[in-house]
Amino acid sequence: MLPRPEKIIFTDGFASQNAPVEERLCPELSREEYRIDITADRIVLTGSGDAGLFYARTTLEQLRMIYKEMLPCMKITDRPAYPFRSFHIDCARHYFSVDELKKMIRMSAEFKLNYFHWHISDDQGWRIESLRYPKLHEVSSVRGGDHFGNYHSDQTEGGYYSRAEVKEIIEYCGRFGIEIVPEIDMPGHVTAILAAYPELSCLGEPVEVGMRAGIFKELFCAGKEETFTFIFELLEELLELFPGQYFHIGGDEAPKERWRACPHCQKRMREEGLKNEQELQGYFCNRIASYLLSKGRIPIVWNEAVYGGNLDKETVVQLWTEDKDAQIKAHLDRGGRAVLSMVDQCYCDYPYSMHSLKDVYEIETSPAELGERGEDSVLGTECLIWTEFIRDNERLEEMCWPRFAASAEVGWCGSNRPGYVDFCRRLEVLFPLFEKYGIHATGKDGWIPDEETAAEQTEAFQRNFSKEDLEEARRMQEEI
Ligand SMILES: [Zn+2]
């Protein structure tokens, strides 16, 4: 079974595949906990509500696939190690259709992933219909071409999800116990938004929707009050659309060049007693986080947002790079919580040669950054796919699967997962699941590619990046 249940006790005898199934509610169980009891004459599934019962049914379906004829009698007790087990899809760099997303969602639910981190805004595109700010879907959702690294195309790229489609996706996720975590990345990665509303940047000058990959220097101006008015009005509309508990507000890769030279930003720093631009980013994130908290939502940020040292502890930090001046550790020691998604293991846009299935499976669940509370500060895990260089659905699926399934087991089993060899054995047995849901998963030979294939994959990946882009990225990194 995938992920492997916490406890399985085999008892004597066998039940027919079609033995009657009885579902029972037991309020004492935690929300996602479930039990399966297979005896010779019936199968009893128990959960405290929809989530637990859905997982019990999912596990039973896997058992039916594993044992093709009779089911051995057994008792399963199962519950997740972490409450937050997420998968991330970047729909800003390339748009994926509602049906393509539904396939990814359905497949993720099979492995008990329970949050869909939906990246819907970045330099290269905004993807949601907005009634309050319609230029977002009219202007920010379309770019003049792709000039990502060494790939060049002058064909217009774009697309957005109508409010009805967003509701359809939310409803579809809800059927499988999945909640959406929408992400509006800010104050950086906002070039597409600024293409429609340039007055929100420090310079206030026109920009076009980004057509290259990398880090862009235009940010939301943290000094102008109208920036915050825009963000709060936009969030108000989005919170009405997205009912989930968490909301991701980005905070990564924000070079401070513009803020340093901006009279509005500098005035804000003086007035608020902020020592530097890192603290200004902390101020910016805290204001948005406070707004979300006042609406009963929990904000999430990428780890750069803690580097100012003044981020409120209620804000969850998503770890993807290393700590800087032990600020992540300090945030977690103050009581903050973390989502583990290290770039070296969880980013599935890298080829299998660089991040193999084994690398994803063996992520450290108590890295040094976690500080004195260790795993207690872990809210959960996430596997991710960025799509600068992924232009079609088949490629998306090959890159994600089965690596997302490995991440799902990390999130479900935590440090008690049974090991990579055991995982692969179960994955082989359940591999037909990918076919069942129409997913193009990478086959066994590709999980840890042989030397020759690995060299080809790594070389092909590196060919994506032009020398100029790499130099620009290095320069920008110094500004973050
Ligand atoms: Zn400014």
If you measure from the C-alpha of residue 402 to the centroid of ligand 1, how many angstroms do you get, rounded to a whole number? 44
- Asked if 202 and 223 count as a contact pair (C-beta separation under 8 A), the reply is yes
Q: How many helices (H) and strands (E) does the chain have?
A: 18, 17
CA distance 407 to 3: 9
If you measure from the C-alpha of residue 249 to the centroid of ligand 1, how many angstroms do you get, rounded to a whole number? 18
Asked if pLDDT for residue 480 goes beyond 90, the answer is: no
If you measure from the C-alpha of residue 9 to the centroid of ligand 1, how many angstroms do you get, rounded to a whole number? 62
Give the residue numbers spanning the domain of 30.
7-78
**In terms of domains, do 168 and 70 share one?**
no
DSSP character string of 160-214: -B-HHHHHHHHHHHHHTT-EEEEE---SSS-HHHHHH-GGGBSS--------S-S
If you measure from the C-alpha of residue 253 to the centroid of ligand 1, how many angstroms do you get, rounded to a whole number? 16
- Give a yes or no: residue 426 inside a domain: yes
User: How many whole angstroms from its chain centre is CA 381?
Assistant: 9
**In terms of domains, do 96 and 168 share one?**
yes
Q: Which residues surround ligand 1, an ion (CB under 5 A)?
A: 202, 221, 223, 262, 264-265
The domain boundary, picked from 41, 62, 78, lies at 78
**In terms of domains, do 91 and 223 share one?**
yes
Side chain identity at residue 15, one-letter code: A
**In terms of domains, do 57 and 143 share one?**
no
Q: What is the pLDDT of residue 31?
A: 97
Q: Give me the percent of the chain exceeding a pLDDT of 70.
A: 100
The domain boundary, picked from 62, 78, 94, lies at 78
**In terms of domains, do 30 and 131 share one?**
no
- Give a yes or no: residue 164 inside a domain: yes
- Give a yes or no: residue 187 inside a domain: yes
CATH code (residue 66): 3.30.379.10
Q: In which band, very low, low, confident or very high, does the pLDDT at 110 lie, cut at 50, 70 and 90?
A: very high
CA distance 318 to 323: 12
CATH code (residue 416): 3.20.20.80
Least confident range of 136-145, 225-234, 367-376: 367-376
Tokens (6 digits) for 111: 């492995």
- Give a yes or no: residue 1 inside a domain: no
If you measure from the C-alpha of residue 181 to the centroid of ligand 1, how many angstroms do you get, rounded to a whole number? 28
**In terms of domains, do 256 and 174 share one?**
yes
Measure Cα distances from 174 to 2, 23, 287 in Å: 21, 20, 30
Least confident range of 121-130, 351-360, 367-376, 384-393: 367-376
**In terms of domains, do 106 and 190 share one?**
yes
If you measure from the C-alpha of residue 269 to the centroid of ligand 1, how many angstroms do you get, rounded to a whole number? 10
**In terms of domains, do 121 and 136 share one?**
yes
Tally of residues, the chain: 480
pLDDT tens across 8-64, in order? 999 999 999 999 999 999 999 999 999 999 999 999 999 999 999 999 999 999 999
- Give a yes or no: residue 2 inside a domain: no
Q: In which band, very low, low, confident or very high, does the pLDDT at 281 lie, cut at 50, 70 and 90?
A: very high
What's the mean pLDDT in 141-164? 95
Number of domains in the chain: 2
Average per-residue pLDDT in the chain?
96
If you measure from the C-alpha of residue 257 to the centroid of ligand 1, how many angstroms do you get, rounded to a whole number? 10
The domain boundary, picked from 55, 78, 101, lies at 78
If you measure from the C-alpha of residue 258 to the centroid of ligand 1, how many angstroms do you get, rounded to a whole number? 7
**In terms of domains, do 210 and 348 share one?**
yes
- Give a yes or no: residue 182 inside a domain: yes
If you measure from the C-alpha of residue 305 to the centroid of ligand 1, how many angstroms do you get, rounded to a whole number? 17
CA distance 323 to 240: 35
Q: What is the pLDDT of residue 371?
A: 87
Asked if pLDDT for residue 368 goes beyond 90, the answer is: no
**In terms of domains, do 277 and 405 share one?**
yes
**In terms of domains, do 71 and 54 share one?**
yes
Nearest one of 122, 108, 84, 145 to 381, comparing CA atoms: 84
- Give a yes or no: residue 144 inside a domain: yes
Tokens (6 digits) for 301: 């940020």
If you measure from the C-alpha of residue 263 to the centroid of ligand 1, how many angstroms do you get, rounded to a whole number? 7
Q: What is the pLDDT of residue 443?
A: 98
If you measure from the C-alpha of residue 221 to the centroid of ligand 1, how many angstroms do you get, rounded to a whole number? 4
Measure Cα distances from 188 to 160, 204, 293, 296 in Å: 21, 15, 22, 25
Q: What is the pLDDT of residue 365?
A: 87
Tokens (6 digits) for 195: 């293409």
**In terms of domains, do 17 and 42 share one?**
yes
Side chain identity at residue 224, one-letter code: K
Measure Cα distances from 305 to 124, 208, 459 in Å: 21, 26, 33
If you measure from the C-alpha of residue 188 to the centroid of ligand 1, how many angstroms do you get, rounded to a whole number? 12
